[in-house]
Amino acid sequence: MRFQFCGNNNAAEWFLAESSILSKITSVKLRLVVTNVFKHLIDGIENFEKVYGLLENSGFIRDEIISILASLDYIISNSIRYGVSDDTLLKDLIDLGLPKENCESITKGFRENAQKLREKKEGNTFKVSKLEKIDYNVNEIISSKKLRNPQLYDTKYAEISLAVKDKSQSEKTEDIRFTMTKEKTLTLLAELKKAQEIIEKI
* Highest-confidence segment of 59-73, 107-121, 139-153, 176-190: 59-73
pLDDT at 21: 92
66 with 142, same domain: the answer is no
Q: Which residues contact 86 (CB under 8 A, 6 or more apart)?
A: 107, 110, 111, 114
- Measured at the alpha carbon of residue 42, what is the angle toward residues 70 and 110, in degrees to the nearest 5? 65
Residue 105 CB neighbours (<10 A): 25
Yes or no: say if 164 and 129 are a contact pair by the CB < 8 Å rule: yes
Closest CA to 104 of 115, 90, 114: 90
The residue range of the domain holding 152 is 130-201
Instruction: Tell me: do 138 and 86 sit in the same domain.
Output: no
Segment holding 53, helix H or strand E: helix 48-56
Q: Quick: pLDDT tens for 24-77.
A: 999 999 999 998 888 888 877 666 778 888 899 889 998 999 899 999 999 998
pLDDT of residue 155: 63
Whether residue 193 sits in one domain with residue 178: yes
> Higher-confidence residue: 165 or 144?
165
Structure confidence at residue 164 (pLDDT): 75
Mean model confidence pLDDT for the chain: 81
Helices 100-124 and 27-43: crossing angle, nearest 10°? 0
Res. 129: pLDDT tops 70? no
| CA angle, 15 then 94 then 39, to 5° | 60
Q: Choose between 113 and 123: higher pLDDT.
A: 113
pLDDT value, residue 95: 94
84 and 140 share a domain?
no
pTM for the model: 0.59
Q: Which DSSP string corresponds to 86-153?
A: HHHHHHHHHHHT--HHHHHHHHHHHHHHHHHHHHHHHHHS----EEEEEEEEEEE---HHHHH-TTT-
C-alpha gyration radius of the chain = 27
Please check whether residues 74 and 173 belong to one and the same domain: no
Do 141 and 95 reside in the same domain of the chain? Answer: no
Tell me the pLDDT band of 150, cut-offs 50, 70 and 90.
low
**Domain total for the chain?**
2
Residue 78 scores a pLDDT above 60: yes
Q: Is the pLDDT of residue 152 over 50?
A: no
The residue that leads in pLDDT, 129 or 60, is: 60
Of the ranges 75-89, 117-131, 133-147, 179-193, the best mean pLDDT one: 75-89
In whole angstroms, give the CA distance from residue 148 to residue 181.
21
